[in-house]
Structure 1
Amino acid sequence: MYQQVQTPASSSRSHLIISLAVFFSGYLMVFWPSLARMEGIWRHSETYMHAYLILPISLWLIWRQRERLAGLPMQSTLWPALFATPFAMAWLLAYAVDVNFVSQFAAIFFLQLMIWSLLGHQILRIIWFPVVFLVFLVPFGEAANPILQQVTADMVVHFLRLVDFPIYREGLYIYTPAAVFEVAVACSGLNFLLTSLVLSCLYSYLHYSRWYKAVAFIALTLVLSIIANGIRAFLLVVIGEKSNMAYGFGADHYYYGWLVFFLVIMLAFWLGAKFADDDAPAATENKVPEQRTVPISKTTLVCLALTLLLAGSISRNIADTPTPEQPAQLEQHNQDIAGQSNWGIQFYDGLSRDHWLTEHSVELFMASYAHRQEHGDMITWHNTLYQPEQWSITAQHHTGSLLNGYGILQLVNTRGQQRAVLYWYQMGEHKTSNRVAMKLLQLAALLRGDDTPGYVFAASVTGDQSIEDIRQQLLAAKQQHLVDLAP
């Protein structure tokens, strides 16, 4: 009769594997709301669909190093666990006021530090890139859309003038003899830029061992991606103009774009291969190091466990304000201005919402939101101060201080109609046109137990008056109708 003897090394390794499973399960339970929202963005946005491949790629990169990892001790370490605690706190604060960008980054940073803490320094030296690569799970970059739109419009105009094409530009609208073209958000090239960033980082890791080569290749690929998007937009304008809009803006719109992107990426890879390092990270090593005892730091495990338990318990106790099926109407105007106006301001799922017209033909809008609601949020991507598909910004101004000011947008549409919008967000007595500042004001109110809702106010007027006349008209409407509506 034989009895299997378990060595100390295999016993410790089994304990650590169990610890890994427990902690990853706890991580999923605590941070699931942020992870689920990330996946929802991937599913509904073509810009971020590449994120579905990030985790499989990271796991494959780790699998390539399996022989190098086989004999290394998984020695948990305390410092990364301590560094992970502030990210858990940041996640809690951002989660409390629905700042998805911050909460999602904090959730991924916590995961990376937890992996480092549980596996130790030696293993992380081997798998550092697959762990860092997980940052691309987070949908980011939308703040760059306005800049990318301007850059794309500049390139299109430049290329068209090089070939003596008759054009006129106003904001993001490009007028040609056959049509009016808009460099919309979908034309900014953000999807090309993010895909290029992911591919260039992966390519650099696999082919370069010198950091300056990797940085240079990534920068080159991003520049080529921006240029490629400009060329794509230029070709679409030319194709649409020459075919009298018969081609270039149907299903073939996407085919042309991705064909140009594919050619540019292949060019970047071809150039990058010429400077590849011979000592780039190897896939595996044939020699398997001798197995060693796996020490487990109880202090590290306790630190991570307490952080997860605390974050989980606090997040479960954050109450959501019930959202009414229809926002209340605070001002009884009996007007269907929203159905008659082409302004297109839209703020969904608020506690209240009003949109009316003054006797001087100035449109006014106000809506209120709780700090955290069952559905919706005031500062979110689908709440906009105008209809982006119809209007283009020609200028924007911010007046006053950060916590006592307002913003003005000047808009134009494809018919040449002009509109100006004066707006601000308000929390208590503080008024700001900065969305980040408004979120911080909501967070401060939440922490001190103040459940007073936040507000968005806007006034708009159409016409081609001077900027100063429009500003004075909007300020007069603001002073007369909007100032005293919020407590």
Structure 2
Amino acid sequence: MVEQVRPAERTSNTGPWLALPLLLLGYLWVFWPSLARMESIWRHSETYMHAYLILPISLWLVWRQREQWLGLAPKTTLLPAIAAFPFAILWLLAYAIDVNFVSQFAAIFFLQLLLWAVLGHRLMRILWFPVAFLVFLVPFGEAANPILQNITADMVVYLLRLVDFPIFREGLYIYTPSAVFEVAVACSGLNFLLTSLVLSCLYSYLHYRHWYKAIAFIALTLALSIIANGIRAFLLVVIGEKSNLAYGFGADHYYYGWLVFFIVIMLAFWLGAKFADDEVPAVSASHLAKSSKASKIAWVALLLLSLTMLAVGASSRSMQQTEVPEQPAQLLAVDQSIAERSSWGIQFYDGLTRDHWLSEDGVELFVASYAHRQQRGDMITWHNTLYRIDQWSITTQQDYGSRLDGYRVLQLSSPGGQRRSMLYWYQLGEYRTSNRIVMKLLQLQALLRGQNDPAYVVALSLSGHYSMDESQQRLLQAKEQQLTGLLP
């Protein structure tokens, strides 16, 4: 039973309670662009729709523990307020160059540290998980898709060969006697993996007191999720093959997937319940009351948080943005109707200029330019793609040159047996790189130096069956003939 605290302690430090709503309003004013972008991703991606439940679950967990914290006055502390400052700066820099992944994490980490600073150590010992749980608001994990796709393909091939099913695999394509199946991005199982991670963390918090049990349960659930996704893909291939694709690839595609996921999660919870600990005892108020009394340092922390948000918010709203035309301009007076006939599918939206043409020797060239910070669009973003991801799969890739003066060559294949080679890089001034992170850092450096020269994405592609050396040679030759004098 929770010990009651004295009325004097309950009301002795109401300042932080009064300051918290004002600080949260300031937080929304500063970080709203990142929060709105996160919500947009939840709304448009099935992978992250579970994020709508994160905040309600956190609030429910706080209310569930109300007997432990209602009698406690917050004791604001300075250390988390100091730790929040670099995350505010990180958010500002990432926001300046539209690196959403970094800016969104920085925004959530700042919120968590803000709550810690205002509520203090005593309350955070009680509410640490509801606050930490907010990290799942951030859409993350897409970088794991290629790894998960290959794991899924490996499992499908292994299971099919285990039952003597005649198949042939090329990259992410699996050929059977009557059909070709692709382990696409949607088949990677990332949505299952992230949902499993969220549920297993919540389950561990509610049922385990020992950290090693929690870690073991989370690891088990994630492993079962990956295995379940491989089994799901295997079953879909078998069903599709046996039914001549009449079943397994319509609306029932999702029903089968979530049915397998539900069974796996129930299995994990059943196993986890066998090792659950007794209910965690409530932390008494008398034990927590041993913390030091509030002092002027608390107000220093509140002032530091307020000034940080004011400065960052004012800086973010003073950043200049380049206006972009409704349709990017064309630098070259050549026939650019190739985009309508090509199977390449390269697509870069918005931007300042965009040219796509075909050389006399059959090489397609694409050049687009972007400002470092635009009112609409960005060069490196999720919906700008170097090829049609629903048609082409990478079979081979190779980087050439250095990190700041290099390019990448890809060899692509399609389910119909078509082949395409591609060479590309991003360019800013004298620097050329195929690394998206390096390019973003170069843009940030240019912004900080006040440089306004645009950045470019340059790509060349050749259709046909060529070796890596042959395709590289032909593409480089076209580069020298077509791009000399066009780029800085």
TM bin, normalised by shorter chain, reads: over 0.9
Q: Residue 216 of structure 1 corresponds to which residue in structure 2?
A: 216
Aligned-partner Cα distance in 2 for 1:353–1:102: 28
- Find out whether 1:425 has 2:426 as its counterpart: yes
- Find out whether 1:385 has 2:355 as its counterpart: no
AA matched with 1:65: Q
AA matched with 1:384: T
Q: How does 1:137-152 map to 2 (within 5 A)?
A: 137-152=137-152
Q: Residue 304 of structure 1 corresponds to which residue in structure 2?
A: 305
Q: CA deviation at 1:466?
A: 2.1
Q: Residue 484 of structure 1 corresponds to which residue in structure 2?
A: 485
Q: Residue 363 of structure 1 corresponds to which residue in structure 2?
A: 364
On the 8 A contact 1:67/1:287 being kept in 2, the answer is no
Question: Cα 1:332–1:130, aligned 2, differ >3 Å: closer, same or farther?
Answer: same
Identity across the alignment (%): 69
- Find out whether 1:191 has 2:191 as its counterpart: yes
Aligned-partner Cα distance in 2 for 1:289–1:472: 71
Q: In structure 2, list runs of 5 or more residues that go unmatched.
A: 1-6
On the 8 A contact 1:74/1:295 being kept in 2, the answer is no
Aligned-partner Cα distance in 1 for 2:469–2:171: 20
Q: In structure 1, list runs of 5 or more residues that go unmatched.
A: 1-6
On the 8 A contact 2:9/2:73 being kept in 1, the answer is no
Q: CA deviation at 1:286?
A: 11
Q: CA deviation at 1:463?
A: 1.2
Name the SS for the 1:425 alignment partner.
strand
Name the SS for the 1:231 alignment partner.
helix
Aligned-partner Cα distance in 2 for 1:477–1:281: 68
Name the SS for the 1:216 alignment partner.
helix
Aligned-partner Cα distance in 1 for 2:403–2:220: 37
Name the SS for the 1:378 alignment partner.
coil
Name the SS for the 1:120 alignment partner.
helix
CA-to-aligned-CA distance 1:309-350 (integer Å, 9 cap, x gap):
110110010111111100000111123010010000000011
AA matched with 1:477: A
On the 8 A contact 1:114/1:304 being kept in 2, the answer is yes
Q: CA deviation at 1:294?
A: 6.0
Q: Residue 319 of structure 1 corresponds to which residue in structure 2?
A: 320
Q: Residue 338 of structure 1 corresponds to which residue in structure 2?
A: 339
AA matched with 1:318: M
CA-to-aligned-CA distance 1:187-229 (integer Å, 9 cap, x gap):
0100000000000001111111111111111111111100100
Q: How does 1:169-248 map to 2 (within 5 A)?
A: 169-248=169-248
CA-to-aligned-CA distance 1:114-167 (integer Å, 9 cap, x gap):
000000001101111111110000000001111111111111111111111111
Aligned-partner Cα distance in 1 for 2:365–2:74: 62
Aligned-partner Cα distance in 1 for 2:125–2:262: 33
Aligned-partner Cα distance in 2 for 1:211–1:451: 51
CA-to-aligned-CA distance 1:381-408 (integer Å, 9 cap, x gap):
1111100001011011111111000001
Aligned-partner Cα distance in 2 for 1:347–1:114: 38
Aligned-partner Cα distance in 2 for 1:307–1:392: 46
On the 8 A contact 1:64/1:284 being kept in 2, the answer is no
On the 8 A contact 2:71/2:285 being kept in 1, the answer is no
Q: How does 1:260-271 map to 2 (within 5 A)?
A: 260-271=260-271
Question: Cα 1:290–1:372, aligned 2, differ >3 Å: closer, same or farther?
Answer: closer
AA matched with 1:146: P
Aligned-partner Cα distance in 2 for 1:403–1:287: 60
Aligned-partner Cα distance in 2 for 1:198–1:282: 24
Aligned-partner Cα distance in 1 for 2:485–2:441: 23
AA matched with 2:89: M
Q: How does 1:402-421 map to 2 (within 5 A)?
A: 402-421=403-422
On the 8 A contact 2:408/2:434 being kept in 1, the answer is yes
On the 8 A contact 2:196/2:221 being kept in 1, the answer is yes
Q: Residue 3 of structure 1 corresponds to which residue in structure 2?
A: none
Question: Cα 1:460–1:268, aligned 2, differ >3 Å: closer, same or farther?
Answer: same
- Find out whether 1:450 has 2:451 as its counterpart: yes
AA matched with 1:125: R
